[in-house]
Amino acid sequence: MPVQPSALAVVLVPLALAATAGAAPASCVPVAATTLRASGAARLYSEGSVLYGCLGARRTRLGALRGTVAFPATRIARYALSSSGYAGIDTAQMGVDTFNSTVLLVDLRTGATLASAPGTTPERRAEFFITVTAMVVDRKGTLAWIGERSAIGVPHPTYEVHTLNAARNRLLASSATIASRSLRLHGETISWREGGHARSATL
């Protein structure tokens, strides 16, 4: 007995809806660009030497991935992305016998920079080096990172764990024994290694 068109439609429509529900979110990255990070519908991508973030129809220029002048040169050295559309950016400034970092929290839904902070607490010596060694950002818009601070004449670098959101910048830990790349994000909790032991904090 042949299947009636109306009965066939009843079967196919739920199947189509199920396939759509399970499909990956459509990419907002231009065809010729290179995707660097993907989380949910949010993306970080490069076009040439420029980093962009996008979510839906909004695209935000975040900065250069390579320095355009010799000294002082500025470039994005590290980045992180959450599925809700928050991006963390580490902007490095390279001078003569200096290296400095500034972190930014950007909302890709609006393109707005919500907060910024130095990569570490200040280094008082003239010839200093401040870098960001690890970075994560959660769904609610809190950025966390490990910063490394050193200087000529200082035998060992100091590592710091920071968090930043639109309301405040917090220093959670400062030590020469923090493992520089040990930062992890578990929901609303970050963890790191310090002196061989696991440490954690709620964002």
pLDDT in tens, 14-26: 444 334 344 556 7
From the CB of residue 195, how many other CB atoms can be counted at a distance below 10 Å?
A: 10
Does the pLDDT at position 31 exceed 90? yes
Question: Residue 83 and residue 125: Cα distance in Å, rounded?
Answer: 39
139: which 2 tokens? 């769904």
**Which pLDDT score, from 0 to 100, does residue 9 have?**
41
**Which pLDDT score, from 0 to 100, does residue 3 have?**
46
**Which pLDDT score, from 0 to 100, does residue 107 have?**
98
Type of residue numbered 41: A
**Which pLDDT score, from 0 to 100, does residue 12 have?**
42
At 94, the pLDDT band (50, 70, 90 cuts) reads confident
Closest C-alpha to 120, from 80, 97, 142, 148: 148
**Which pLDDT score, from 0 to 100, does residue 114 have?**
98
pLDDT digits (tens, 9 = 90+) for 130-146: 999 999 999 999 999 99
Q: Which region among 7-16, 57-66, 67-76, 167-176 has the lowest average model confidence (pLDDT)?
A: 7-16
* pTM exceeds 0.75, yes or no: yes
Which positions ≥6 away from 34 have C-beta within 8 Å?
45, 46, 47
Question: Residue 74 and residue 59: Cα distance in Å, rounded?
Answer: 21
Could you give the angle at the alpha carbon of 198 between the alpha carbons of 194 and 199, nearest 5°?
Answer: 80
Q: Calculate mean pLDDT across residues 63-92.
A: 90
Q: Calculate mean pLDDT across residues 144-173.
A: 95
Does the pLDDT at position 75 exceed 70? yes
pLDDT digits (tens, 9 = 90+) for 52-73: 999 999 999 999 998 766 667 8
**Which pLDDT score, from 0 to 100, does residue 8 have?**
39
